[in-house]
Amino acid sequence: MSIKVLVTTGCGNTVMGGADIWTNYFLELVWPTLPVKRDWRLLIDSKRPASFESKYLPKGLVHHFHYDDPEKTRTWLDECEEIHVLHPHYHLRPHIWHFEDKFKTVFVHAYAREMDAAISAIPELKRLQYNTGVDSDFYDVKSFLAGKSTLNQIELALLGNISNTKILHLQCHFGQDSLSLSRMGAKVVGVDFSDKAIEKAKAFNTKLGLDAAFICCDVYDTPTHLGEQFDIVFTSYGTIGWLPDLDKWAQVITHFLKPNGTFIIADFHPVVWMYDNDFKEVFYSYFNIEPIIEEELGTYANKEASISNQTIGWNHPLSEIVNALIGNGLQINCFNEYDYSPYNCLNEMEEFEPNKFRIKTFGNKIPLVYSIKATKK
């Protein structure tokens, strides 16, 4: 028997109350067409919901929830011959990526524009293209390619004149900010975990005739891929919430900074992540007491996207961030909090000035963004 494992994040509307439309498509449209059903196993990469009823799954489909028994997940993926990933978000967890050499179908898509392609691809064992979200209006690639900087006033004020400086940009996504820094005269290296994002960054770099460099690796592993030091290490917006260990993160920063080099971060304030998605109640602790696992509809780049996705992250309080930096040899020069976001990327936001957004019900009462500038001692 040739075992095939389908990896997804939920078990469909009929089972999990709308948690994952991707699995629904597999169960309702793909499963009935498979000629040899006994070869298939369904790995649901999430917690088992209290409402789960296995009777809703097709008869004969062996299934497993990862968090019921992580060791069983590893055994399944180790024993199988093929892995098919049908996943609504591009942050696949390491225990799945570890078996990437067995991937046959990969549809990791944030915007749900081509579900039919994903459905038809599974029986055909066709590897599909991963979507980084570059086409979303959120990123306004057309204006960026025409010369518009993607950097905001918050980080520009901290950066100052960067002409002829060397900058390491951690978690750079597909490189818009990296290339905006390059346009300002800096020699830039961008690092990101996503190979497809890095491919896009390199393509933009070539298209724009810039000299930035891009490396695909886990941020923690950057010292094994890069052997130089920098005047500035930079990171911004939606980065450290994906990292469980800030001490290890700060070690990477210190490792790459020259003596008296500068670290700059601008990111969403941890107060923001305490609330539910609609900012109606305090839902999570301000303190980093456990991973935050969420199922939500839409994406930060397209809140109207008809896609459900599961994310796992960590809410790091400001004390944890600051102490990680201080504990690894950085001296805090300035710390700022802002009562607005430069991005319309959360629910219930309104624009009160050009490119400045607040939560409607809160106005200027809570911080949405913070920034830190620090120097290596």
Say which range, 136-140, 180-184, 218-222, 238-242, has the weakest mean pLDDT. 136-140
| Of the candidates 251, 249, 253, 169, the residue with the CA atom closest to the CA atom of residue 213 | 169
Mean pLDDT over each residue of the chain, to the nearest integer: 82
Sign of CA pseudo-dihedral 209, 215, 220, 222:
negative
Q: Write down the residue that tokens 């960054």 correspond to.
A: 201
Longest CA–CA span in the chain (Å) reads 64
Question: 117-163, pLDDT tens digit by residue?
Answer: 444 444 433 333 334 456 566 778 999 999 999 999 999 999 999 99
Q: What is the pLDDT of residue 107?
A: 60
Q: Which residue has the higher pLDDT, 45 or 24?
A: 45
140-376: CATH topology: Rossmann fold (3.40.50)
Q: What is the pLDDT of residue 181?
A: 98
Q: What is the pLDDT of residue 303?
A: 45
Give mean pLDDT, residues 15-29: 53
pTM above 0.85, yes or no: no
Q: What is the pLDDT of residue 6?
A: 80
Tokens of 320: 């944890």
pLDDT at residue 347 tops 90: no
Q: Write down the residue that tokens 């088992």 correspond to.
A: 48
Give mean pLDDT, residues 268-281: 90
Say which range, 108-122, 157-171, 190-204, has the weakest mean pLDDT. 108-122
Q: How far is CA 360 from CA 130, 280, 338, 347, 365, in A?
A: 35, 11, 16, 9, 10
Give mean pLDDT, residues 12-25: 46
Q: What is the pLDDT of residue 311?
A: 59
Q: Which of 75-79, 180-184, 214-218 has the highest mean pLDDT?
A: 180-184
Q: What is the pLDDT of residue 24?
A: 61
Q: What is the pLDDT of residue 92?
A: 60
DSSP 317-343: -HHHHHHHHHHTTEEEEEEEEESSBSS
The contacts of residue 268 (CB under 8 Å, 6+ apart) are: 237, 238, 241, 341, 368, 369
Q: Which residue has the higher pLDDT, 97 or 354?
A: 354
Say which range, 9-23, 171-185, 355-369, has the weakest mean pLDDT. 9-23
Q: Beta-strand (E) ranges in the chain?
A: 4-8, 40-44, 62-65, 82-87, 103-108, 166-170, 187-192, 213-216, 230-236, 257-268, 292-297, 308-313, 330-338, 349-353, 356-359, 369-376
Q: What is the pLDDT of residue 237?
A: 95
DSSP, collapsed to helix, strand or coil, labels residue 253 as helix
Say which range, 22-31, 143-152, 231-240, has the weakest mean pLDDT. 22-31
Q: Which residues pair with 74 in a beta bridge?
A: none
User: Structural domain boundaries of the chain?
Assistant: 4-124, 140-376
What percentage of the chain reaches a pLDDT higher than 90? 51
Q: What is the pLDDT of residue 200?
A: 92
Q: How many CB atoms lie within 10 A of CB 200?
A: 21
Q: How far is CA 20 from CA 46, 155, 312, in A?
A: 11, 37, 15
Q: What is the pLDDT of residue 1?
A: 60
pLDDT tier for residue 31 given thresholds of 50, 70 and 90: confident
269 in the Ramachandran plot: left (φ > 0), alpha (ψ -120 to 50) or beta?
beta
Say which range, 152-156, 220-224, 283-287, has the weakest mean pLDDT. 283-287
pLDDT at residue 238 tops 80: yes
